[in-house]
Amino acid sequence: MSKIHLTHTGYWAGKTLCESVREEGDSYVHAVYAPLTNDEWRKKVCPECLKLYAELAYEDEDLETAPQWVIASRAGIGLGSH
């Protein structure tokens, strides 16, 4: 099944967050440019990439301003996979 992976920018540009091997049919989007606040779009994203991004992209002190899905992910509550 095809899904969207999030990739790093900068030094690790092009590498997926989950470090999966590139597969035909999958898409790759730079995490910083990804429309992750769009619930419909986010459902197509690799859960492993999402989880890692939620942990990497926000410091604990930034969580007040973080999107709801990031807070939920870091709290270990589902990833919007319902």
Under the rule (CB under 5 A), what is the footprint of Zn ion?
5, 16, 18, 20, 46, 48-49
Q: Which is nearer to Zn ion, 15 or 74 (CB)?
A: 15
Least Å distance between CB 7 and Zn ion?
Answer: 9
DSSP sequence for 36-68: TT-HHHHTTB-HHHHHHHHHHS--GGGGGGS-H
Q: Which is nearer to Zn ion, 24 or 61 (CB)?
A: 24
Residue whose C-beta lies closest to Zn ion: 46
Q: How far is the CB of 18 from Zn ion (least distance, A)?
A: 3
Name which of 22 and 82 has its Cβ closer to Zn ion. Answer: 22
The H or E element that residue 5 is part of is: strand 4-7
For the CB of residue 1, give the shortest distance to Zn ion in the complex, in Å.
12
> Buried b / exposed e across 6-40, counting CB within 10 Å, b at 16+?
bbbeeeeeeebbbeeeeeeeeeebebeebebeeee
